[in-house]
Structure 1
């Protein structure tokens, strides 16, 4: 297996790219919300994402999959979309008011909240080392967010 095949099937690789894209999102968004209402910025971002993903579906011939989605999948994806929309609106408002590093740090408390919610509702178990990591993320968030 070559390097690209190995990377493209690695969740760690895609998660790192996601983190890198999220970091760029914060920096670009901080510049983008200057002088415009955060809700307008969120709308523009959402339109760009819709177009980007539509092109990706077209290029990968995945539009047909939409017909086969179950009602359950659709319901949870709608809920996820509503949560994403709420997150983005709140995120852009926070960026408009605060420093990008501090806002992004608090936003990443989502990692801690996902772990807690997954333990409660999805019955996922975390190892002691993972729980230590969650604690350190929480501590790191507090330290970055409280910096002046």
Structure 2
């Protein structure tokens, strides 16, 4: 496998690493602070980092030139992201990171289901088996006995 900067798999693995760090660092940072306030601080940091990154890489374009359809779906995606973060931080505040993070990964299963329903994607039998294993793994990690 060619792991170049344009390879989706490399970026997906890096996303998983940073998502894992997010759970641990957030759990540590939630001590003594409301989860919604913590989410706000995190969001401000993300905004600042992305602003610097987009400017530094010369990728800034006028957002008003985006199509209405693009705006609609990016705004809806942003609302879903915000709702996800609020729920995730509240769950981390109340629960163990080792249980909250796996349940959050049910999003993988839901993405496949939504991709079938809304994007017309057709996973193979092998891919459905992988989705089933993820769902089973989530349940095994989330339910502590």
- Which residue number in structure 2 is paired with residue 66 of structure 1? 63
Gaps of 5+ in 1: none
2:72 to 54, 75, 88: 75
- 1:143 paired to 2:145: no
- 1:83 deviates by 0.2
Q: How many positions carry a matched residue from both structures?
A: 144
- Could you tell me how far apart the structure 2 residues matched to 1:69 and 1:131 are? 36
> Shift of the alpha carbon at 1:73?
0.5
Tell me the distance in 1 between the aligned counterparts of 2:132 and 2:61.
Answer: 43
Aligned CA RMSD, in angstroms, stands at: 1.1
Query: How high is the TM-score relative to the length of structure 2?
Result: 0.96
TM-score (norm 1): 0.94
Quote how far apart the aligned CAs of 1:12 are: 0.3
Per-residue deviation, 1:104: 0.4
Could you tell me which runs of 5 or more consecutive residues in structure 2 were left unpaired when the two chains were aligned: none
State the alpha-carbon separation in 2 of the partners of residues 140 and 65 from structure 1. 43
Equivalent position of 1:126 in the other structure:
123
1-structure distance, mates of 2:48, 2:11: 21
Name the CA distance, whole Å, in 2 between partners of 1:93 and 1:112.
22
Taking the aligned partners of 1:90 and 1:53, their CA distance within structure 2 comes to 23
Distance 1:91 1:67 in 2: 31
> For 1:102 and 1:65, how far apart are their aligned partners in 2?
42
